[in-house]
Amino acid sequence: MTKGGGKKENAMWGGRFTAGPAAIMEEINASIDVDRRLWREDVAGSKAHAHMLAAVGVISDGDNTAIQKGLDQIAGEIERGEFKFSAALEDIHMNIEARLKEIAGEAAGRLHTARSRNDQVATDFRMWVREACDNAEVALEDLMRALAEKAAPNADAVMPGFTHLQTAQPVTFGHHLLAYVEMFSRDASRFADARARMNENPLGAAALAGTAFPIDRNATSKALGFDQPCANSLDAVSSRDFALEAMAAASITATHLSRLAEEIVLWASPHFGFVNLSDAFSTGSSIMPQKRNPDAAELTRAKAGRIIASLNNLLIVMKGLPLAYSKDMQEDKAATFECFDALGLALAAMAGMVRDLTPDRDAMKKAAGLGFSTATDLADWLVRELNMPFRDAHHATGAVVAVASERGVDIADLPLEEMQKIEPRITKEIFSVLSVDASVASRTSFGGSAPVNVAREAKCWLEKLKMENS
Ligand code: ARG
């Protein structure tokens, strides 16, 4: 006989069974180690369901009272760590119901009227993901605040802007940080959108077909904070797109976080030297005493792997599943919990790092002048002052850069005569546009990196995020 096969049958469906599960069946079947995290939602869902059953007269007020008291007691036991979770009882729903039976006796057996674990788990899980979206939004707003607070005093801190990680044009540190504020604000709105779409109540769909009992799905929806009941019972128990959508938002957020993390790793390297990370967000090396490692940034960068993998995990579980419920769907929670655990950590670590980092304005400015970063300003001057077509100006500027490069100097340090050999109409006025400060100051187009723009944008974000302007 297969090991464990002789055990007592399961109390929840014992009627049809003469033997209990094989040990390995119990092991593969149990989800309690993962879904115990749904206990709050499960208690709330059961309480709402029992109240509704009593209100429509399916159970007596006395039974409802016993159920409510029992569930409150169970919540206290779990909260205090006294509750004994059992793998034999498979999941959080049956663990709680079994305990309720011990406490409330026959009344407990009436709780599962007009309900199935299929709509129960779909409801609990939706509530959990809904809260995860809310938490992500709050954490994103905190990160945005940290970035905008750092951007405001650095609206005029010139740094090199890169394309292909090659020096492109000077920008400011504040402008760079605010680029991430824009990204994270879209991420926050993606969580809000996902939340709004998922906020429908599966409870009452029962196993898959609805129920013959005269339930009031609007009442449970209201009690559990849902906007309305899911309109189709099959959809209600089979869909996990709410979790997929939330994880898609998490994956995009993680991608943004990983890009900022990568930049912090680069900036903190002595070869860039653009920022200093605080001790609180650095680690040392056990062998190299000089090292300050940006571990929090590296781990944030790596968390994106877990988060994106979680989304893929659930997409692959769900693809090709026939309606309605299949046990495959039990695996939804491990993926989703892992995703949001990693996201929460990464967001908090990033906000901490950003708050703590100190930009080295001199180092950034020095770097901003390297690599002929104001060459476009020279070309623009030729266009503006000499009415040259931009393509010709580009060509002439390329020639100026070639001469400067040959001489090993910046274009701002080339003698005027050298430039005039290339384009005789160039005057000494050209030098007014060749400094990195002049370059950023000139970028006043809407959304451009001019310090006036950046200061205004930082202020605007801080106000939006309800903070004092710093
Ligand atoms: N533990 C299950 C899950 O998380 C609960 C639903 C079980 N439903 C069923 N028909 N076996 O998916």
Q: How far apart are CA 314 and CA 67, in angstroms?
A: 34
301 Cβ inside 6 Å of ligand 1: no
Residue 334, amino acid: A
For ligand 1, the distance from its centroid to the CA atom of residue 118, given in whole angstroms, is: 6
The pLDDT, as a whole number, for residue 439 is 92
Catalytic residue among 60, 285, 405, 432: 285
Give the pLDDT confidence of 402-414 residue by residue, as tens digits: 999 999 999 999 9
**Residues 393 and 380 sit within 8 Å (Cβ to Cβ):** yes
Res 9: pLDDT:
61
pLDDT given at position 122 = 98
The reported pLDDT for the residue numbered 470 is 42
Is 285 annotated as catalytic?
yes
Q: With a cut of 70, which residues of the chain have pLDDT below it? A: 1-11, 467-470
The residue among 428, 380, 373, 364 whose CA lies nearest residue 401 is 373
**Would you state the pLDDT for residue 239?**
98
Sort 2 into a burial class: Cβ within 10 Å, 0-12 / 13-18 / 19+: exposed
Residue 328 alpha carbon to ligand 1 centre in Å: 9
Counting ligand 1 atoms within 8 A of each CB, the residue from 327, 329, 333 with the most, and so the one to mutate, is 327
With tokens 């788990």, the residue in question is: 121
CB neighbour list of residue 430: distance below 8 Å, 6 or more residues apart: 378, 381, 416, 419
Instruction: Name the residue of 117, 126, 208, 329 to mutate for ligand 1: max ligand atoms within 8 A of Cβ.
Output: 117
- Is any atom of ligand 1 closer than 6 Å to the C-beta of 118? yes
Give me the pLDDT at residue 287, please. 73
Per-residue confidence (pLDDT) for residue 469, from 0 to 100: 39
